[in-house]
Structure 1
């Protein structure tokens, strides 16, 4: 296999099914050697199985590619460290980390339990931070040794993280955190030859079948806009050496559409040059809101 990421070593978390599986197969088709990570849990994070990761590895090997399975828990500190070690021991290097693993425990905030909050924040937010932290420790050591890498991190946020989603307060908070983490990591890791970007994908997966129920069915013919495979070309490009000038960005991607999400920006301002009195601020805030663009609606509102 020869392609855009020929011989690059890529970790994809949550790669046993859905979008992660599509990423792993797409990277392999473009020449990468892939660590297929998936703990094999259920939709709510229950259970565990090595089957999903191994099946994807078998697909890659059958097509002439190179891959190895990992069932490490990416939100466990030692598990994330072992995941990075697996890439280094099996393939001798690491070039790309794609953070994709996650699950859902949806509930309206008034009914959301502490365990449901903690579990989703753990797998999505810590599950991004921990692998990234161990990967960049390796890349920093390489840079200090005079072998500055051309490394890439691609994180997975969500439209729920960018705009909010009714009934998904825990997931929305975690994915907003991923977007913020991406911007900080991009600024901090640049000195080591590492770019960090994120995607906010929409596709047919176990996690989205309820949210996008009306759009889930694949068309009888023509372009399947909800296929997970539509997301992966951008991720492969972001994982290539061609993307060296792109960092700290969040891309929305679905079907054949790629768009650049606009982050929080400084907006209209009023400066008195002195401390405001509370009674003065009503018309001031009204004026600022009148000058600003209307916010995008929360999903489901």
Structure 2
């Protein structure tokens, strides 16, 4: 379901005026709450017109309501911006395709895709049922893929028609996708898959004027409120809230803007006032016998190499 009733300013205020995303159109999935809401508001504050996608489901993906997406639209409009609500399921072909249609129908273009939608079904592996595995994979990994596929197809068509885009995709992974997280096998696998998808998409879509990056945010949202329940930041006289979702959004806005030209296929951690460029799998110590190893020789070589290698970072929640 797509709302074609564009709401907001038409007089050169936040939606059309200044800011590093002025004149650009953004789609943000899962934008009714938490990080997505913060991103949508921050993009609008920097001049973007925004399609606010959200199904309004519960933390486990159950239920649904148009309320959260419309509330964010109302907040953007109240601040002088332009936005439209979108209630399509981005983990379906029709729902993901309608994201592009919503942007084109409402604003005449699409420049930015922020993939953010997701929910949790946490259990230890031996207790994790197949339905919970499939549900989390569907919303996180399939949802990223389908939205990226349809936006990418639009931008490819634009490039082939001689209208080279300056498009940006920001995918959402997590520390679980980078390091693993005990009790979150499904979520970890989905978020790790998003990192691989980001690298492939950046390589494939670059020729069409599309940059694709990923963030691994840490912030207080519905999915992390128990983890960060006691985390208060309080650095500085201003009472800085280190876990506020709004701390992550400035990096997203910059990545979504023309100012980030040349940055693609990268992964950033963002938490509080810290931004870190993550460096993924790359060759460490190696050995080449020049012939086939015996099992004993392979084991001896592996132990020598492990002794020379950097130790891995611990999995979240590991004892």
* TM-score when normalising by structure 1: 0.98
Residue of structure 2 equivalent to 1:140 = 156
Number of corresponding residues: 300
**CA distance in structure 2 between the aligned counterparts of 1:221 and 1:90, rounded to whole angstroms:** 39
Q: CA deviation at 1:243?
A: 0.6
Residue of structure 2 equivalent to 1:158 = 174
**CA distance in structure 2 between the aligned counterparts of 1:94 and 1:300, rounded to whole angstroms:** 40
Q: Does 1:232 align with 2:249?
A: yes
Please, which of 172, 181, 185 is the counterpart of residue 169 of structure 1?
A: 185
SS in 2 for 1:272: coil
**CA distance in structure 2 between the aligned counterparts of 1:74 and 1:231, rounded to whole angstroms:** 23
Moved more, 281-290 or 156-165: 281-290
**CA distance in structure 2 between the aligned counterparts of 1:54 and 1:67, rounded to whole angstroms:** 9
Please, which of 16, 23, 32 is the counterpart of residue 48 of structure 2?
A: 32
Moved more, 151-160 or 265-274: 265-274
Residue of structure 2 equivalent to 1:5 = 21
**CA distance in structure 2 between the aligned counterparts of 1:218 and 1:113, rounded to whole angstroms:** 37
Residue of structure 2 equivalent to 1:281 = 298
Residue of structure 2 equivalent to 1:56 = 72
**CA distance in structure 2 between the aligned counterparts of 1:263 and 1:188, rounded to whole angstroms:** 19
SS in 2 for 1:213: coil
SS in 2 for 1:88: helix
Moved more, 204-213 or 92-101: 204-213
Q: Does 1:178 align with 2:194?
A: yes
Please, which of 237, 252, 263 is the counterpart of residue 246 of structure 1?
A: 263
Q: CA deviation at 1:218?
A: 6.6
Contact 2:166 2:210 in 1 (8 A): yes
Please, which of 149, 152, 155 is the counterpart of residue 165 of structure 2?
A: 149
Q: CA deviation at 1:293?
A: 0.4
Q: CA deviation at 1:276?
A: 1.1
**CA distance in structure 2 between the aligned counterparts of 1:264 and 1:208, rounded to whole angstroms:** 27
SS in 1 for 2:230: helix
SS in 2 for 1:210: coil
Residue of structure 2 equivalent to 1:79 = 95
Contact 2:180 2:315 in 1 (8 A): yes
Query: Structure 2: where are the runs of 5+ without partners?
Result: 1-13
Contact 2:228 2:243 in 1 (8 A): no
**CA distance in structure 1 between the aligned counterparts of 2:279 and 2:233, rounded to whole angstroms:** 30
Runs of 4+ in structure 1 over 6 Å off: none
Q: CA RMSD in A?
A: 1.1
**CA distance in structure 2 between the aligned counterparts of 1:37 and 1:222, rounded to whole angstroms:** 32
